[in-house]
């Protein structure tokens, strides 16, 4: 059985990984106060003491707009900490799995982005996440970098929960319609991570499988159409919402100014991970339906 260190267990992906990774080995998932990612010494000490076989970094600074005025902290968590994890993984001979983002791209491409497309992040969050990717790749450790997009789940704050709350409070929602992406369920990401690691282990950690992979739900949508689908699905479980659904108005990006610039196109092509590991996530609508059913079951 492998010894697995999970960093960021309380995030959306980390919360799901705590369950899926138990199938792979002994899981160590420190609380934030036990591993402070802004403290390089803390990171090095924990890895050298634990000597894990697999390191999963599900931690990130994800407050995209706040990062514009908090670049130092965003960089510490998204760039410096992954670099240290990678350095230590190289020394220990450990495998590192790290999650990155669609926001490394500028969104100007009309079709789906591949792993070979040149990144050009337009905000601090995307720049720090790209720096983290680059540090891991430069370290020489065995790694999987999984770029994903528009993550949501049953745990933590996200767009789905925000739309459901506002739909009950307001008669009209104004949602951006000129940004495209693939909403991706954290549970799907966690299960796919397990699949990739099991497959890689069966192939004796073949270094040819190291590298960068895109991993998102199938299909594409806009934030507006995503919100429409959230409310449509929720009306099956919520009688008040079924009786009085809000009007969901489509607006342009310039009508909803934010501190951080978002890419107009965030769609990622996921053929590479399918070819390497046989992984293909469900269509975004199917996973969203499962997530909303779980939210209401737990309410």
DSSP strands (E only) in 87-198: 95-101, 142-148, 151-152, 172-176, 180-181, 184-185
pLDDT of the residue at 86 = 98
> Residue 101 phi/psi, 5° resolution?
-140, 155
pLDDT of the residue at 32 = 87
pLDDT of the residue at 226 = 98
- In 3D, which of 159, 262, 280 has the Cα closest to residue 214? 280
Mean pLDDT within 35-48: 96
Residue 275 — very low, low, confident or very high, per pLDDT cuts 50/70/90? very high
Q: Walk me through the domains of the chain, giving residue ranges and CATH numbers.
A: 2-158+184-218+267-282 (3.40.50.720)
Residue 196 — very low, low, confident or very high, per pLDDT cuts 50/70/90? very high
Reduce the DSSP state of residue 262 to 3 states and report it: coil
Statement: residue 1 has pLDDT above 90:
no
DSSP conformation class of 239: H
Statement: residue 251 has pLDDT above 90:
yes
Mean pLDDT for the chain overall = 97
DSSP conformation class of 78: I
Active-site annotation holds for 125: yes
In terms of Cβ atoms closer than 10 Å to its own Cβ (0-12, 13-18, 19+), residue 41 is exposed
Mean pLDDT within 82-87: 98
pLDDT tens sequence across 136-184: 999 999 999 999 999 999 999 999 999 999 999 999 999 999 999 999 9
The contacts of residue 230 (CB under 8 Å, 6+ apart) are 159, 160, 163, 164, 167, 288, 292
Q: Model pTM?
A: 0.97
Marked catalytic residue, from 125, 152, 213, 226: 125
pLDDT of the residue at 22 = 92
Mean pLDDT within 46-64: 97
Residue 220 — very low, low, confident or very high, per pLDDT cuts 50/70/90? very high
pLDDT of the residue at 286 = 98
Q: Is 23:194 a contact under the CB 8 Å cutoff? A: yes
Statement: residue 299 has pLDDT above 80:
no
pLDDT of the residue at 5 = 98
Handedness of CA 220, 174, 120, 139 (dihedral sign): negative
Residue 256 — very low, low, confident or very high, per pLDDT cuts 50/70/90? very high
Reduce the DSSP state of residue 149 to 3 states and report it: coil
63-80 CB burial, b ≥16 within 10 A, e <16:
ebeebbeeeebbbbbbbb
């Amino acid at each position: 059985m492998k010894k697995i260190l999970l960093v960021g267990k309380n995030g959306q992906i980390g919360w799901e990984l705590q369950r899926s990774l138990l199938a792979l080995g002994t899981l160590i998932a420190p609380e934030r106060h036990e591993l402070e990612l802004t403290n390089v010494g803390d990171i090095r000490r924990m890895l050298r003491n634990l000597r894990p076989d697999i390191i999963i970094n599900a931690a990130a600074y994800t407050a995209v707009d706040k990062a514009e005025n908090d670049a130092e902290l965003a960089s510490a968590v998204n760039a410096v900490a992954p670099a240290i994890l990678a350095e230590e993984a190289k020394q220990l001979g450990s495998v590192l799995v790290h999650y990155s983002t669609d926001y490394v791209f500028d969104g100007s491409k009309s079709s789906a982005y591949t792993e070979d497309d040149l990144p050009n992040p337009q905000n601090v969050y995307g720049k720090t996440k790209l720096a983290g990717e680059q540090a891991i790749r430069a370290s020489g450790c065995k790694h999987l970098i999984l770029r994903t997009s528009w993550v949501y789940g049953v745990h933590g704050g996200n767009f789905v929960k925000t739309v459901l709350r506002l739909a009950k409070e307001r008669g009209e929602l104004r949602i951006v319609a000129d940004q495209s992406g693939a909403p991706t369920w954290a549970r799907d990401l966690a299960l796919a991570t397990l699949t990739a690691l099991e497959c890689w282990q069966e192939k004796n950690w073949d270094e040819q499988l190291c590298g960068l992979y895109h991993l998102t739900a199938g299909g594409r949508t806009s934030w507006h159409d995503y919100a429409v689908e959230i409310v449509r699905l929720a009306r099956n479980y919520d009688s008040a919402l079924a009786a009085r659904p809000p009007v969901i108005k489509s607006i342009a990006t310039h009508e909803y100014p934010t501190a951080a610039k978002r890419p107009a196109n965030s769609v990622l092509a996921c053929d590479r991970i399918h070819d390497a590991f046989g992984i293909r996530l469900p269509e975004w609508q199917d996973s969203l339906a499962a997530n909303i059913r779980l939210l209401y079951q737990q309410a």
